Structure 1
Amino acid sequence: MDTYLVDFWSHKWCGEISLQSLLPELFNKVELKVCNVKDCFSTNGWRWRWRKILKGTESESQRLGWAIQAFNELLSNFHTVNSRDNLCWRWNKGQGFIVKSVYEMFNDRGVKDDLPAKIWRLRVPKKVKIFIWLVLKKRIPTIDNLNKRGWTGNQSCVLCACAQETVDHLLLTIVFSRFLMTRTFDEAMDVQFDDDIRGFWEKEMERGNGQAAVKRQCSLAAIWWVLWRQRNNVIFKN
């Protein structure tokens, strides 16, 4: 698309949710709220500058920092092309609008049963949803990810000092995570541990149904969020 007709914040052009709905805290802070995608993109990349936005309290800056990280991740692979914008019917993109697609949309509420959609439906704060989304993409700034950006320093996990810090280790295989999950999910069946965090999460999403399943997923998100906060407290607040 050439992006002249696409509203940057309100149109659903980079996923199933508009950026305004996905990142409301960020939208409320930016000065340019009415603009098309073309206005925000140049040959050198996106034109956003976040320094002014991040001038606030520590908690507010941290919350906005997560939103900016999610924003950058969403747009990292987007490029404009020399072709006209086209409107499409989101529930039948290949063939356009047909009556059958409307019927199917009302039956399944128009939501695909994929992993991101389930994350956004969790009853947890928006910053935790964004965090879980980044965790499952293995994009949070753990030591192994910092190494990819050129960081050189102590490679050990700050919580156990027994292994290199990775997303899988910090939130899944470390003894603290196993202990918290075992105590939280105190039930007849055993908690099944997987070396890969996304594989483990997908298995958890398949366990049970209804309110019990939602509660389990929210509890797991809370455990991982608390572990991440504690890890940061050790590093930045000693």
Structure 2
Amino acid sequence: MIDENTQQVVWKWSSTGLYSSSSAYSILADPGLRSHYHSWLWKMKVPPKVKIFLWILLLDRVLTQQNLLIRNWPTIPACQCCDNTTLETSYHLFVSCDYARQIWTLLQVRFSLPFLTFSADLNGFWLQNRAYIGQFWDIIWAAATWAIWKERNRRIFANKIMPPNLLMAEICASIVAWSTSA
């Protein structure tokens, strides 16, 4: 914010008007900005970049084709992971896309998961299955969504495609690594 009297930049979240890491942290740690899943999300045993990705994903702020269109960025709105005619929304890409469904089916078989609940939104998909499966679902869900996101970006930016069974190997490696880390 610019102070009208002095024409200097002022950090409005501190009493001195100066930026400090503690004032920035207090904004990020403000309970008013937390959601009901905040504590579960930040306590997951996954790398910090994955936690941040999941947080952005659950807020529906990941730069899917739909969110790029909303921001007026030039884009091709179709999903790159399936039939290329469906609008790429967060829910579509990570839950209802044919490619994502293949991944969830492979995970269900690999880990002998009960029937997965495909709710109407991403929060519900995570939380309903977490309630039914337990905390191990957190790592499965985090590894799968992270891998699907990387696959989507690989298709767009590197023009490379990884078949579901190979992506599944990548997901399983992440699950093992994250489950065994301290």
Same fold (TM over 0.5): yes
Aligned to 1:141: 63
1:113 is displaced (CA, Å) by: 9.1
SS at match of 1:114: coil
Residues 65 and 89, structure 2, Cα contact 8 Å, conserved in 1 = yes
1:184 aligns with 2:107: yes
TM-score by length of 1: 0.53
- Structure 1 stretches of at least 4 aligned residues deviating more than 4 Å after TM superposition: none
The structure 1 residue matched to 2:94, chosen from 168, 171, 175, is 171
Structure 2 letter corresponding to 1:156: A
Kindly indicate whether residue 125 of structure 2 is the aligned counterpart of residue 204 of structure 1: no
Aligned CA RMSD, in angstroms, stands at 2.5
| 2:145 counterpart (194, 218, 224) | 224
SS in 2 for 1:4: coil
Gaps of 5+ in 1: 18-73, 75-111
Residues 106-127 of structure 1 show CA distances to partners (whole Å, capped at 9, x for unaligned) of xxxxxx9930111111111000
Matched, 1:9 2:21: yes
Aligned counterparts of 2:52 and 2:77: Cα–Cα separation in 1: 26
Cα distance between partner residues in 2 of 1:195 and 1:142: 17
Match of 2:39 in 1: 117
How many Å apart are 1:214 and its aligned residue?
2.6
CA distance in 2, matches of 1:172, 1:232: 16
Q: Deviations over 1:81-111 (max 9, x none)?
A: xxxxxxxxxxxxxxxxxxxxxxxxxxxxxxx
Q: Do the aligned residues in 1 keep the contact of 2:68 with 2:75 (CA within 8 Å)?
A: no
Matched with 2:76 is: 154
Offset of residue 144 of structure 1: 0.6
Could you tell me the percent identity over the aligned residues? 28
Counterpart code for 1:195: A
Q: Distance in 2 between matches of 1:113 and 1:131?
A: 15
* Contact in 1 for aligned 2:116/2:129 (Cα 8 Å): no
Q: Work out whether residues 181 and 220 of structure 1, in 8 Å CA contact, stay in contact via their aligned partners in 2.
A: no
CA–CA distance in structure 2, aligned partners of residues 16 and 153 of structure 1: 34
Equivalent-residue separation in structure 1 for 2:60 and 2:77 (angstroms)? 17
Unmatched segments (≥5 aa) in structure 2: 1-11, 160-182
SS of the counterpart of 2:27?
Answer: coil
Q: Which structure has the larger Rg over C-alpha atoms? A: 1
Q: Secondary structure of 2:46's match?
A: coil
TM-score by length of structure 2 reads: 0.68
CA distance in 2 between counterparts of 1:127 and 1:188 reads 26
Task: Give the AA of the match of 2:118.
Answer: F
Give distance in 2, aligned partners of 1:3 and 1:10. 9
Structure 2 CA distance for aligned equivalents of residues 164 and 139 of structure 1? 16
**Residue-by-residue CA offset, 1:159-211 (whole Å, 9 max, x unaligned):** 11140111000001112212212221333631111231112112123224xxx
For residue 16 of structure 1, what is the amino acid of its counterpart? A
Distance 1:16 1:162, change over 3 A: same
Aligned length: 141
Q: Which has the higher helix share?
A: 2
Q: RCO higher in 1 or 2 (8 Å CA, sep ≥ 6)?
A: 2
Q: Distance in 2 between matches of 1:120 and 1:137?
A: 14
Task: Verify the 8 A CA contact 1:172 1:195 in the aligned structure 2.
Answer: no
